[in-house]
Structure 1
Amino acid sequence: MRYAVFLIPLFLITLTTHAQESLSKDVDYAYLEKLIAACKTNYPRVKMYEARVNIAENGIKKAKLSYFDIFSFSYLYSPNNNNRSVSPDLLSGYQFGFFANIGSILQKPNQVKQAKSEFKAAEYDKQAFDLNMEAEVKKRYFTYMQKVAVLRIRSSSILDINDAVTNARHRFEKGEETLQNYNQALIVQSDYSQNIVNAEGEVLVAKSSLEEIIGQKLEDIK
């Protein structure tokens, strides 16, 4: 029964700390926009989609310029030869020809239309990726801030728990507390310490995950 009485303040400490914490106060949306901007600048897949859009845009220009391939120009030079007595050429001098490929004329509009469709498709792919990328940056940022908040809560709680365990040890040394209850208090302290180690690891993992997508250390983004 005395052990239960001892544990109640520990749980009250944790519950009170949770009640005072709010993740929203830790979120910096201006800083989050900087993270998204850094991702757009650094993340390789962003550059890949930009390159695809540029390639598709160049495809439109190439398709339009290919209209000139429809037409061809040629000339033939026949020199005058007054000494020729048999079947003299009816035409002499330069002969010019201008030709148009009818099949190409019919195909070019569809080729330009297809190039424009490919350009729009590349743009839509990039827009979809940008939206997904922004959502992923936000998700990783919020996860990171959550892990930081949890670590702060547990770090704050362990200080009070350490004080409670110190008090329990003094009471045990005075004979006012049983060995069993004192050992239980040490177990609670050990569990909380392990939780802090776990929370620190989760913070590092979340930070690394966020830095992976933005391509920079968080400390470098002010």
Structure 2
Amino acid sequence: MNKSKLFFLLIIFLSVDKFVCAQQTIMNDISEDYIARLVAHAEENYPQVKSNQNRISIAQGNIGKAKVSYLDAFTFSYIYQPQGINTLGNVSGTTSNYNYFNGIQAGIFFNLGSFLEKPYAVKQARQELEIANNDQNQYYLTLTNEVKKRYYTYLQDIAALKLTAQACIDNENIANDIKHKFQKGEETFDNYTKAQGNLTTSYQAKIQAETALLIAKADLEELLGDKLENIR
């Protein structure tokens, strides 16, 4: 094996060894209390939760309307008959002021069929409220799970960026060292080119890691309805 290949393998070994030693865990960064605050913030601000709450309010109002609708079965009516409107004529051609109805005649009418429908209307309104509550509870579970997943992804991307940034620094040091040696004639052009290529690749990986972190943060803030920095 020639010197050039040996040096290149050494660079790879050092990079891998550095990467393994720099491995971190995100488990120590996970705070259940902080996650609970994130979930509470999402439940308070996310539009879908507010829409579900409005549906619950509407369903509660429908129960009241259904109960009050029992009165629809009763109809109140009245007739006002002034004095002297209805008169009777006799055979002599004279008139009499006798009235069949005088004053106000009132009455209450009851619709049995309409009355019997009301219990079913109340039952349906209560079932609609139960469905709305179940939908809200189900969405709370879904929202909690989604907040956790996006938060874990956010922590993962932070850790990945740290590793990528460290690998970038290492490749910068290696590239600068090889560059100086190459300028003094102590290193080959092939190794210099490879070192510069590795450095470029590291820069690209760092940019991708930064972009992934920004996207993960935006995805999490979408559920929170607020900046992550505002939630402590």
Q: What is the TM-score with the length of structure 2 in the denominator?
A: 0.85
Comparing 155-164 with 133-142, which one deviates more in the overlay?
Answer: 155-164
> Percent identity over the alignment?
37
Deviation of 1:166 after TM superposition, in Å, equals 2.5
Could you tell me how far apart the structure 2 residues matched to 1:94 and 1:173 are?
Answer: 117
- For 2:93, the equivalent position in structure 1 comes to none
Higher RCO by CA contacts (8 Å cutoff, separation 6 or greater): 1
Q: Specify the alignment match of 2:60 in structure 1.
A: 57
Task: Note closer, same or farther for the CA distance 1:165–1:77 as it changes in structure 2 (3 Å cut).
Answer: closer
| Aligned partner letter, 1:6 | I
The CA RMSD measured in Å over matched residues stands at 2.3
Residue 178 (structure 2) aligns with:
168
Out of 206, 210, 220, the residue aligned to residue 200 of structure 1 is 210
Q: Which amino acid aligns with 2:63?
A: I
Distance 1:7 1:80, change over 3 A: closer
Deviations 1:137-161 (A, max 9, x none): 1111111111111001111222222
Relative to structure 1, the CA distance from residue 85 to residue 149 in structure 2 (aligned partners, 3 Å threshold; closer, same or farther) is same
Displacement of 1:118 = 0.9
1:99 to 80, 99, 109: 109
**Structure 2 residue aligned with 1:30:** 33
Once the two structures are superposed, residues 88-139 of structure 1 have per-residue CA deviations (whole angstroms, 9 ceiling, x without a partner) of 5567555442221100111011111111111111111111112111111111
- Asked if 1:152 corresponds to 2:157, the answer is no
Distance in structure 1 (CA, Å) of the matches to 2:103 and 2:191:
119
* Corresponding residue for residue 8 of structure 1: 13
Matched residues, number: 220
Paired residues of 1:71 and 1:99 also in contact (CA < 8 A): yes
**Match of 1:181?**
191
My pick for the range that moved more, 9-18 or 68-77, is: 68-77
Shift of 1:164: 2.3
Letter in 2 for 1:56: A
TM-score, length of structure 1 as denominator length? 0.88
Tell me the distance in 1 between the aligned counterparts of 2:168 and 2:112: 85
Which of these two proteins has the greater Rg computed from alpha carbons? 2
2:178 counterpart letter in structure 1: A
Query: Is 1:135 aligned to 2:138, yes or no?
Result: no
Which of 20, 44, 47 is matched with 1:44 structurally? 47
Aligned ranges for residues 50-89 of structure 1 at < 5 Å?
A: 50-77=53-80, 84=88
Once the two structures are superposed, what CA deviation does each residue of 1:46-73 show, in whole Å capped at 9, x if it has no partner?
A: 1111101110110000000111111223
User: AA paired with 2:16?
Assistant: F
In structure 2, what is the Cα distance between the partners aligned to 1:17 and 1:68? 76
Point out where structure 2 has 5 or more consecutive residues left out of the alignment.
91-95
Q: Is the 8 A contact 1:35 1:137 kept in 2?
A: yes
